C-alpha cells in the first residue's frame, strides 16, 4: 500500500511531529511505500529519515512569514493561525496545494493520512477528492476550531467528508462529533504510543539518596503552567532537598527571572537526551492548563518516573485503568478556565496548592519501575499503527 502522510508542521518536533515519525517508521517495517508532505522554515535542518518528501518552505521570498503552528507557542519560530492576514492565508493555501498536487501526480498514493483536523486536512480532502483520506486528531486542532472560528467555514465542511478520523480517546471522539458534526461511527479510537526501546527505567540506586530531582518537559509557555510550577518549586525547596530541571523550547529569560535558585533550564533536547534525563530524575511534572497530545507523560512513566500532572480531559481514558490506578501517577484538578487555556486567576492559588501536595506525596515513594515499564509497553507505537493500518487497508481496497 502506498501511503501519503501530510502535516503542516515539521515532522520531528512536537507531539504530532513525533507521531508522524513513528507512524512512518512502523509503516516502513510493515512494508508500505510512503511519502510525506510537510513544512519547515528556511535554514531548518530537515530530517531525511524520510522517503519521498514534498516540502513547503516558509520565511522565504514566496512565503515571507514563519510556518503556522497548531499551538500559539511552538518550539521553533512560528506564526499563529489567528494572526495570518488574508493575503498570507492565500499564499499558505497555494503553497500547500502545489505540493499536494505534485505528490498526487508523482507519488500516486493509494490512501492519504493527514494530521490535525484543520486547514491542511481540509485542503487534502479537496485535492484528493477521488482517494480515501483519513485524518488523525491531536487535540490542538479542537483548540484551533474554538479559537479561530472565522476559519471554520474552510475547515468543517471538508473534514465532515473524511473517510475516517482517528482519535486518541473517548473524550476526543465526542468532541470531534460535537465540533465537526461528524458521525461517531466514523471516529475510531486508536490512542497514542511511545518508543519503549528509547524510554526505559534507570537503576534504582538514585532512590538511596535523600536529594530528589524533578523534571518538566514541554514548551516554556504560560499555558503549560510553567509559572505555577516555578512558584511551587520555590515553596518546596524551603523544606525539601530538591532541584527542578526544565526541558523545552521557549524564551527562557522571562522564566529565569521568576525561577528559584534550584531550577535549571536546559532548552529543547533530542529525544535520546530527554530519555537519559528521565532515567536520572525522580519525578515528572506536567501542570498544563491545556494539552493536545501529552505523549511525554507516558514516556516519563515508561522510564520509571512517577508522574504528577493536571487532570486533562481524556488522558485517564487514554492511559487506561492499569496506569491510572497504579499508584505512580496523580492527577490534579484544573482550575476553572476563562479561555481554552487561561485559568481563572481566583482559582490559580488553590490549583497550585493541590499540585504541590501531589508532588510531596509522590516524592516520598520509591516506585516499582519494572512494573511501570510493563504497564507502559501496552501503549507502544506498534499497537497504535496496527489499529490504524486495518482501516487504511479497508478504505484503500474498497
Q: What is the CATH number of the domain that holds 248?
A: 3.40.50.2000
Q: For 10-20, how does the pLDDT look when each residue is reduced to its tens digit (9 = 90+)?
A: 887 777 888 88
Cell triple for residue 200?
Answer: 526505559
239 plus 373 within the same structural domain: yes
217 plus 163 within the same structural domain: no
Euclidean distance between CA atoms 358 and 329, whole angstroms? 9
288 plus 340 within the same structural domain: yes
Question: Is the pLDDT reported for residue 71 higher than 90?
Answer: no
Specify the length of the chain in residues.
Answer: 398
341 plus 388 within the same structural domain: no
Cell triple for residue 171?
Answer: 473524550
Name the pTM for this structure.
Answer: 0.75
186 plus 308 within the same structural domain: no
Q: For 324-361, how does the pLDDT look when each residue is reduced to its tens digit (9 = 90+)?
A: 999 999 999 999 887 767 788 889 999 999 999 999 99
Question: Is the pLDDT reported for residue 47 higher than 70?
Answer: no
Residue 293 pLDDT: 64
Residue 319 lies in a domain: yes
Q: Which domain holds residue 174?
A: 2-193+380-397
Residue 199 lies in a domain: no
Pairing of strands 342-343, 337-339: antiparallel
Euclidean distance between CA atoms 327 and 342, whole angstroms? 29
Residue 44 lies in a domain: yes
275 plus 338 within the same structural domain: yes
Count of structural domains, the chain: 2
- Nearest Cα residue to 191 out of 137, 113, 117, 145: 137
Q: How many CB atoms lie within 10 A of CB 35?
A: 21
Cell triple for residue 107?
Answer: 507519488
74 plus 221 within the same structural domain: no
Euclidean distance between CA atoms 374 and 371, whole angstroms? 5
Q: For 159-211, how does the pLDDT look when each residue is reduced to its tens digit (9 = 90+)?
A: 999 999 999 888 889 999 999 988 888 999 887 788 888 999 987 778 888 89
In angstroms, how far is the first alpha carbon of the chain from the final one? 13
Euclidean distance between CA atoms 236 and 242, whole angstroms? 8
Question: Is the pLDDT reported for residue 43 higher than 70?
Answer: yes
172 plus 222 within the same structural domain: no
Residue 169 pLDDT: 81
Residue 295 pLDDT: 85
- Nearest Cα residue to 212 out of 282, 141, 116: 282
Residue 73 pLDDT: 73
Query: What's the rounded mean pLDDT across residues 362-382?
Result: 90
Give the pLDDT band of residue 108 (cuts 50, 70, 90).
very high
Residue 258 pLDDT: 81
Residue 131 pLDDT: 96
Cell triple for residue 360?
Answer: 510531596
Pairing of strands 283-286, 212-217: parallel
Residue 280 lies in a domain: yes
189 plus 283 within the same structural domain: no
151 plus 131 within the same structural domain: yes
Amino acid at each position: 500500500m502506498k501511503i501519503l502522510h501530510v502535516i503542516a508542521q515539521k515532522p520531528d518536533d512536537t507531539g504530532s511531529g513525533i507521531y508522524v515519525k513513528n507512524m512512518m517508521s512502523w509503516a516502513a517495517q510493515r512494508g508500505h511505500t510512503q511519502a510525506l508532505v510537510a513544512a519547515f522554515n528556511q535554514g531548518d535542518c530537515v530530517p531525511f529519515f524520510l522517503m519521498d518528501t514534498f516540502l513547503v518552505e516558509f520565511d522565504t521570498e514566496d512565503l515571507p512569514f514563519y510556518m503556522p503552528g497548531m499551538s500559539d507557542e511552538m518550539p521553533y519560530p512560528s506564526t499563529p493561525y489567528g494572526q495570518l492576514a488574508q493575503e498570507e492565508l492565500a499564499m499558505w493555501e497555494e503553497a500547500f496545494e502545489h505540493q499536494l498536487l505534485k505528490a498526487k501526480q508523482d507519488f500516486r498514493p493509494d490512501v492519504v493520512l493527514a494530521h490535525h483536523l484543520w486547514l491542511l486536512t481540509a485542503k487534502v480532502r479537496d485535492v484528493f477528492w477521488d482517494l480515501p483520506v483519513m485524518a488523525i486528531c491531536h487535540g490542538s486542532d479542537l483548540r484551533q476550531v474554538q479559537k479561530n472560528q472565522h476559519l471554520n467555514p474552510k475547515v468543517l465542511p471538508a473534514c465532515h467528508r473524511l473517510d475516517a478520523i482517528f482519535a486518541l480517546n473517548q473524550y476526543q471522539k465526542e468532541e470531534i462529533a460535537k465540533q465537526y458534526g461528524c458521525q461517531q461511527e466514523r471516529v475510531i479510537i486508536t490512542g497514542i504510543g511511545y518508543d519503549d526501546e528509547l524510554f526505559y527505567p534507570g537503576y534504582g540506586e538514585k532512590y538511596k539518596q535523600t536529594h530528589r530531582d524533578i523534571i518538566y518537559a514541554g514548551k516554556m509557555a504560560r499555558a503549560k503552567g510553567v509559572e505555577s510550577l516555578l512558584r511551587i518549586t520555590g515553596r518546596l525547596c524551603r523544606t525539601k532537598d530538591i532541584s527542578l530541571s526544565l526541558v523545552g523550547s521557549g524564551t527562557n529569560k522571562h522564566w529565569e527571572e521568576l525561577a528559584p535558585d534550584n531550577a535549571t533550564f536546559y532548552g529543547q533536547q533530542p529525544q535520546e537526551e530527554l530519555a537519559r534525563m528521565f532515567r536520572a530524575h525522580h519525578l515528572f511534572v506536567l501542570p498544563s492548563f491545556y494539552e493536545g497530545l501529552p505523549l511525554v507523560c507516558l514516556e516519563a512513566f515508561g522510564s520509571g518516573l512517577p508522574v504528577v500532572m493536571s487532570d486533562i480531559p481524556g488522558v485517564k481514558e487514554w492511559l487506561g485503568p492499569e496506569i491510572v490506578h497504579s499508584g505512580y501517577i496523580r492527577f490534579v484538578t484544573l482550575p476553572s478556565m476563562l479561555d481554552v487555556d487561561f485559568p481563572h486567576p481566583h482559582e490559580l492559588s488553590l490549583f497550585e496548592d493541590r499540585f504541590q501536595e501531589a508532588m510531596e506525596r509522590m516524592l516520598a515513594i520509591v516506585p516499582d519501575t519494572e512494573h511501570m515499564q510493563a504497564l507502559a509497553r501496552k501503549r507502544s507505537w506498534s499497537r497504535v499503527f496496527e489499529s490504524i493500518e486495518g482501516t487504511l487497508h479497508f478504505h484503500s481496497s474498497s
